[in-house]
A and B are shown apart, each in its own frame.
Chain A
Amino acid sequence: MRRIFILLAVLCAAVRPVAAQDITINGLADFRLIAPPSDTSHLEGGYGKFRWGDGRGSPVIPDLAALALRVAATVTPDLRIVAQFRYDPKQKTALDMLEAYVRYRPVSTSNWRWSVRGGAFFPPVSLENSGVGWTPEWTLTPSAINSWVGEELRVIGAEGTLEWRGEVDRFEFVAAAFGVNDGAGESIDDYGWTLNDRAIGLFDHIRTPNPGGPPTYNYQFRQLDHAVGWYAGVNWERPDLGRISFLRYDNGADPSAHDDYEFGWRTSFWSLGWSTEIGPVTILAQGLTGTTSIAPSPSFVSRTDFWSYFVLAGIERGTWRFAVRFDQFATSETSPSPPPRSDEHGIAGTAAATWSPLKWLSLTGEVAAIDSARSQRALIGKAPHTTAVQAQLALRLRF
């Protein structure tokens, strides 16, 4: 955590000399009416797979989903600082930072272009989350894959990109080294896949199910060893094909490391994504498969495999935008601990319609349903299998 404060101080110091006219600020205020599912949300310590759900079966609740700011400062034409902040009273700190990084990208008039960025940022996994506050473009709620990326992953380190820009094809080779994310993976073991649009802030922690006990938390942003995490990937883009993204990620955590708060969750995955346009329809598809493990003692090695994929189809018609998405996901745990273990499988369907009558105003209705089975629901006295629905109406103001 101290490292993050130092990082923030460095960024603030760097921002100060920037001329005022070279700072772009975008904001998002997102007000919601939610018809929550009856299960208690994982964000409240339950096994509920949605963001909302208090276990009391409230019919409709109003909530502030996000107050987010994105600040982009062009220090020199080659050097850019980007930071995203979010206000949310439900966070550990009401004002939190989602990402903050410095990008150095000198101009190139050849086919090659390189860039580096350093700081804290989301790994380049999501095809959906391009909006202010890391909000998804087509739906209110991102896919299971990108809900997980938002909840657990953040690159605190440095990334280099080398692009080759041909007449038709374009390749991007990306590689990074990072740390301070040794807790990533615990949530997917603790409560599995979710559909949640609240990406975790850098100073926040996440509730973890502890039925009958006091609130317990996952601390994703900790460094427990001297190992370095890394990822490497390639993106291939051509106009008639779209963009194919391939990434290998490994947080490098030592599974035997731990402190008073957290184990070293060694998490690695492969991700393959494809985005394209077919006629007026935008298609996003992504699959991710990985594993996370801890080994606090030689006799206790716990390993959870996880995979998910989704396909999204979106279409824009005038001031309207429609999207449907199908997700499927599963986890399975191999562990010496007694059952029930972290085994689950499920499918989810999401449909969203957005009306944007003005550039700064939009209304979105979204219905998402998850049909899943998780053996650990027995710990709260419930059958493994459940179907949950979350419906939302969002009023979004932007500037």
Chain B
Amino acid sequence: MNRIPTPSLIAYLIGVAILSCLGTPAAFAATVTATITDDAGRPLADAVVMLAPEPGTPMPAPERSRIATATIDQTDEVFVPPVVVIRSGGTVVFRNSDGIRHHVYSFAPVRRFEMVQAPGETSEPVRFDKPGAVAIGCNIHDHMIAHVFVTDAPWAIVTDAQGRAILPELPAGQFVATVWHARLRPRSEPVTRQIALTAANASLAVSLSVLPPRRPRGHDY
């Protein structure tokens, strides 16, 4: 007996075909290796590389995001790491590994907060709802500076000392890559690149025009 495809089976096959065309994380897992350099071609550490899908590329559910939380430690009067990236609505935990108090605070319009941290203390998660760059300081030690970059992009990562960042398990599709750095020139436009992902791994090379690293000014103690 010839089997006649039922309407439901046809719908199922069409659905599979459409999903295959759009791509799913399981079906097409690509890895993007980003290399960020400065004008002179030197590796740029602590740059934030973000990938957001163009319409038509599936978004992962926010709870699957790898950038829901981050931790910033304080050791030898330095914030470590100096830059973290989290998704809007994500949280940052501040830890004080020093033997002295710190007074962590932000006066950034997108998230203002302050808290004194005793030696050895780990904070409650601090939630950041709005996207943007948040400069974090210590009101006792002005030379301590960190940045929390809050993004709506589902994928983001901070470059290492070699200026490299690896974003794994991306679906195929059209993406917009945005790169941010704390030393971008004031009021400069965000640096973006279009990137098309297939099943294969891809690389992204971006050179940023950044200001020279700032030295601490005057005495602060």
Contact = CB atoms under 8 A, between A and B. Distances in A.
Interface string B96-117: 0001110101110000111010
Contact of A280 (B113, B185, B212, B217): B212
Interface string B22-44: 00000000000000000000000
Contacts of A22: 100-101
A77 B116 contact: yes
A168 B187 contact: yes
B101 A74 contact: yes
A278 B101 contact: no
Given A74-B140, A130-B219, A282-B215, A239 B100 contact: no
Contacts of A49: none
Nearest to A127: B218
Contact of B186 (A24, A110, A168, A277): A168
A118 B67 CA distance: 45
Given A130-B216, A280-B212, A238 B99 contact: no
A258 interface: no
B99 A109 contact: no
B212 A277 contact: yes
Nearest to B216: A130
A80 interface: yes
Contacts of A110: 107, 112
Interface string A225-247: 00000000000011110010000
Contacts of A238: 186
A130 B211 contact: no
Contact of A278 (B114, B140, B212): B212
A214 interface: no
Interface in A64-84: 70, 72, 74, 77-78, 80, 82
A72 B119 CA distance: 16
B150 to A, nearest CB: 16
B211 A240 contact: yes
Q: Which one of A70, A107, A165 has the greatest number of beta carbons of chain B within 10 Å? A: A107
A107 B103 contact: yes
A105 interface: yes
Given A130-B218, A239-B183, A277-B211, A77 B101 contact: yes
Nearest to B109: A167
Contacts of B99: 21
A111 B106 CA distance: 10
A77 B140 contact: yes
B107 A124 contact: no
Given A77-B103, A239-B211, 18 more contacts: A21-B99, A22-B101, A70-B221, A74-B100, A74-B101, A74-B140, A77-B116, A108-B139, A109-B107, A110-B112, A126-B218, A129-B219, A130-B216, A168-B186, A240-B211, A277-B211, A277-B214, A277-B215
Q: What 6 A-B pairs have minimum CB-CB distances, sorted nearest first?
A: A277-B212, A109-B112, A168-B186, A107-B139, A130-B219, A77-B103
26 contacts: A70-B221, A74-B100, A74-B140, A77-B139, A77-B140, A107-B103, A107-B114, A108-B105, A108-B139, A109-B106, A109-B112, A109-B113, A109-B114, A129-B219, A130-B218, A130-B219, A130-B220, A165-B107, A167-B186, A239-B185, A239-B186, A239-B211, A239-B214, A277-B215, A279-B212, A280-B212
Interface of A: 21-22, 24, 70, 72, 74, 77-78, 80, 82, 105, 107-111, 113, 124, 126-127, 129-130, 165, 167-168, 237-240, 243, 275, 277-280, 282
